[in-house]
Amino acid sequence: MTPYRIEIRVVPRRGILDPQGKAVADALHALGFADVTDARVGRHVVLDVRAADAGAARARAAEMCDRLLANPVTEDYVIESAEPAAA
């Protein structure tokens, strides 16, 4: 088994109220960044796991997201990377 570092991005689904994202967008507008049309605030999760290969590490991460890390009703997730971790 090889150690892998997995990075996951979890964000509210489009169409779901995101009060933090709205607050960020409003604050950016107030600071003169009128070109911002939307902001979504989520979580960046980094996990170190042991797996046979990168595909198995990604599959395990997806299972973790489905069961705990992301609410399937209100959030979407993307597994950004699954790279061998530094020893």
HSE of 17 in the Cβ direction (CA atoms, 13 Å)?
A: 1
The tens digit of pLDDT for each residue in 18-37 reads 999 999 999 999 999 999 99
What's the CATH code, domain 2-84? 3.30.1280.10
The pTM assigned to this predicted structure is: 0.87
- Please give the helix or strand (H or E) that residue 31 lies within, else none: none
Q: Nearest Cα to 77, choosing from 2, 68, 15?
A: 68
H-helix or E-strand spanning residue 56: helix 54-64
* Token pair for 46: 């980094």
3-state SS assignment for residue 41:
coil
Domain ranges of the chain: 2-84
Q: Give the tokens for residue 10.
A: 């979890």
Across 73-86, average pLDDT: 94
Confidence check: pLDDT of 87 > 90: no
Q: Confidence class of residue 86 from pLDDT cuts 50, 70 and 90?
A: confident
